[in-house]
Structure 1
């Protein structure tokens, strides 16, 4: 497996591969409206994509927030590659790259069904449950 990000590789290609995975997972599987899934942050975020035999299988993105923090979101793995450690590998790569960029703190909005996954990676839940796209989420954070 290989992980590429849009800072070090062809931005448009990495973004396109990321969007294809997100459409499959969030729009097709979870029935999230495409207008909620695709937003103006896609053009400014750093996208990460995991490839297996040159095929994109998992993705996530990070972007700067209005308060100069960094937010991790749109973490998705194609169904046939879940529960094989791909997402954990992706998260470790993102954290490593974030540290290299001087990012010391990440936040994310985890779907409640994924909360335990993020806790195992060291993220801490904060605040109350909220709805996004009709799905329950919770804010989580981690110092790198």
Structure 2
């Protein structure tokens, strides 16, 4: 399936972005609402991914410090193409902003995919809303999307 990713403005599209993130993180993965909506949204760059019918199926954000986060894709579209499209576009925005490094706080089962893609572990495993996570860092110049299959 072909996907289309667009940069969007939080103030103009927050209702749509919140719907996707609530559906994935709050209802499906049981993330508390106050953790999911952490106050960084109005300061971050956001993207939305749409399917061939122009229906929104996912979103992600790039925080000012280079943290790529809140990647949410509805279940029927969780595939390599969707995630690669989102990540590539967020990395493009990071390059455009002049960032040298990008970061992710990923679930432990996804750490090998990120390491294959050029990321290195940063610090210890930590808990977020009862989910163990690892902070990873990657120089933008070393980023590759090939290993990505599914992220949560």
Q: TM-score range by the shorter chain?
A: 0.7 to 0.9
Does the C-alpha gap of structure 1 residues 116 and 20 become closer, same or farther in structure 2, counting only changes over 3 Å?
A: farther
Task: Answer yes or no: is the 8 Å Cα contact 1:14–1:49 preserved in 2.
Answer: no
Aligned counterpart for 2:75 among listed residues 47, 68, 79: 79
Residue 88 (structure 1) shift: 1.2
Q: Paired residue for 1:110?
A: 106
Residues 1:5 and 2:3 aligned together: no
Q: For 2:128 and 2:86, how far apart are their aligned partners in 1?
A: 23
Higher normalized contact order (CA 8 Å, seq sep 6+, divided by chain length): 2
Q: TM-score, normalised to structure 2's length?
A: 0.81
Q: For 1:127 and 1:51, how far apart are their aligned partners in 2?
A: 35
Q: Paired residue for 1:123?
A: 119
Residue 17 (structure 1) shift: 2.4
Structure 2's unaligned 5+ residue stretches are 141-152
Residue 56 (structure 1) shift: 1.3
Q: Secondary structure at the match of 2:67?
A: strand
Task: Answer yes or no: is the 8 Å Cα contact 2:10–2:42 preserved in 1.
Answer: no
Q: Paired residue for 2:150?
A: none
- The structure 1 segments of at least 4 consecutive aligned residues displaced by more than 6 Å after TM superposition are none
Q: For 1:50 and 1:29, how far apart are their aligned partners in 2?
A: 19
Q: Paired residue for 2:88?
A: 92
Q: For 2:29 and 2:130, how far apart are their aligned partners in 1?
A: 10
Residue 113 (structure 1) shift: 2.5
Q: Which has the higher strand share?
A: 1
Q: Paired residue for 1:27?
A: 26
Task: Answer yes or no: is the 8 Å Cα contact 2:7–2:47 preserved in 1.
Answer: yes
Task: Answer yes or no: is the 8 Å Cα contact 2:66–2:94 preserved in 1.
Answer: no
Q: TM-score, normalised to structure 1's length?
A: 0.85
